[in-house]
Amino acid sequence: MDSAPPPPGPSAQPLSSAHAQLSPDGQWRWDGFVWQPTTLPDATLQPNAPTSTGPQATFTLNYTETKAALDWLVKRKDQMLVRIICALFLIGVGAQELLNHANGGLFLGALGVYALGRFAYRVYVTIPRAATKLTTPPDPQRLIFTESGLHIHGSTADGELEWSAVSHTYEHAGMYFLKSAKRPVHQMVPARAFANPATETEFRDLVKRHTRAKLLDPPSPETT
């Protein structure tokens, strides 16, 4: 898990110790799991129009929120609760089989222990490492959302991504996730990145129109 394989693409080559986070061409970032594009991948990424206007989000992801976001994504994708229940079931069945001197008890128990161990490693080792790599060094980003798409300004990308390249928008614990339509890659946008509630509402309306948005209900005026 510590050493990343060569990044994909024609420019693939071993990484030097000074570039353990990005590929030599800056197009790929190792997140501790797999090589991820530095932005949502799509051929529609074009140079930004200088007059692009719309709700803006300016932010730099920190370790705490990145770790929490990765933790939620992994648990959501891998259905961790189901896996834990299955692992405990295997351990219980294996123990019962061993008590009954039946064949296969040791194998079932070992399989359950392995599943639990793999879950614990991902949660307590892999995710913290990935969060550290994704936030070191800090990467300031400015995103502008318009009817045509997502305009990206950052140290590793500067261009426009059409809405057709984004399939879903999720919201969890103060973080928005824009999912690529082609790959399991997410652009994270913290709610704190918007200057005011009106700007965030404008962004929410845009993603509702252009993506399959699964957003939380906004707080009612009585609770704000």
At 113 the pLDDT is 82
Beta strands 56-59 and 141-145, pairing class: antiparallel
Both 162 and 94 in a single domain? no
| One pLDDT digit (tens) per residue for the chain, 224 residues | 444 455 444 444 333 333 345 555 555 555 554 455 555 444 444 444 444 588 999 999 899 998 998 888 877 765 666 767 777 777 787 777 777 766 777 777 787 788 788 878 878 888 888 888 878 778 788 999 999 998 888 776 678 888 999 999 999 989 999 998 887 778 899 999 999 999 999 999 999 999 999 998 875 555 44
Let me know whether 54 and 123 are in one domain.
no
Task: Answer whether 57's CB lies under 8 Å from 187's CB.
Answer: no
Domain shared by 213 and 163, yes or no? yes
Domain limit, last residue, from 115, 134, 153: 134
- The token pair at 167 is 């399939």
- Residue 214: strand pairing partners: 170
Do 217 and 115 share a structural domain? no
> Does one domain contain both 53 and 159?
yes
Asked if residue 113 is part of any domain, the answer here is yes
Do 162 and 54 fall within a single domain? Answer: yes
Are 113 and 144 within one domain?
no
The answer to the question of residue 46 being in a domain is yes
Structural domain range at position 119: 68-134
Residues forming a β-bridge with 171: 176
Report the predicted TM-score, pTM, of the whole model to 2 decimal places.
0.65
Looking at 107, 134, 161, the residue that finishes a domain is 134
Q: How many domains does one find in the chain? A: 2
- Report the C-alpha gap between 126 and 30 in whole angstroms: 12
| 123 and 80 within one domain | yes
For 31-63, what is each residue's pLDDT tens digit?
Answer: 554 455 555 444 444 444 444 588 999 999 899
CB 212 within 8 A of CB 168: yes
Domain boundary among 88, 112, 134: 134
What span, in angstroms and rounded, lies between the C-alpha atoms of 166 and 40? 8
1, part of any domain? no
Query: Are both 86 and 122 inside the same structural domain?
Result: yes
